[in-house]
Amino acid sequence: MSSTQLLVGFHAVTARLRHGPETIREVYVDATRRDRRMTSLVEQLQAAGRRVHPVAVERLDGMAKGGRHQGVLATAEAVALAHDLDEVLDELDGTPAFLLILDGVTDPHNLGACLRTADGAGAHAVAAPRDRAAGLNATVQRVACGAADTVPYITVTNLARTLRSLKERDVWVVGTDDQAIDTLYDVDATRPIAWVLGAEGEGMRRLTRETCDQLVRIPMQGAVESLNVSVASAVCLYETVRQRTSRR
């Protein structure tokens, strides 16, 4: 029997409607909201044969359990994505690996933004240590704007061991460190690569840092010393996109 997940907000429901409408089971909308955005979504859902239930906003509040539902949420079958990094790598069929590793990112807003960026950049997966990571809750799914359904988010028991396993499979592991000599522009991102970013403030843990093949920094030209982890992820991931696109 497949598990059920809750999709909260317009972005999460719209993304599932676009990528897997058959997995949507029931949709609940604010019965008092009749603006163009809601009307359009309801029409699309009904055209896809999905059942839409107008309900009181209080019921939505209770179902969302504190999440910002924007007047719409849905129950749906959980989408089956890769369960581990070996599975991800095995399915690449010659394409250079492109991974994002997050060490200690526990804020769901940051994780959601990182997943959204990973999807946009075409990363194959996002991974994090199980004991130092945010889960895929409703906040993450809302901020990710559907990327939680398209990018595998894999939690691992031992991050350093996972990084060593990636290196054994010829994936170049690059960690970001404000004190590094090299910059991200010194990285050959056309090769199989895993970008490793730590939580804002703390950065990567010592063992994570020591396991990386290369440490780089993002050049900062102003008074601010560092970027938010989701912004730093975007800078690194899109440097990979730039390099791989320019060499085609």
Helix axes 36-47, 10-19, angle to 10 degrees: 30
Give the bridge partners for 194, in sequence order.
Answer: 99, 173
CA dist 179 and 183 (Å) reads 10
CA dist 89 and 97 (Å) reads 7
Task: State yes or no: 203 annotated in a binding site.
Answer: no
Contacts of 126 (CB under 8 A, 6+ apart): 99, 100, 101, 102, 114, 115, 118, 151, 152, 153, 154
Task: State yes or no: 201 annotated in a binding site.
Answer: no
Task: State yes or no: 181 annotated in a binding site.
Answer: no
Tell me 205's DSSP state: -
CA dist 156 and 125 (Å) reads 13
Which positions make up the binding site for S-adenosyl-L-methionine? 198, 218, 227
Which positions make up the binding site? 198, 218, 227
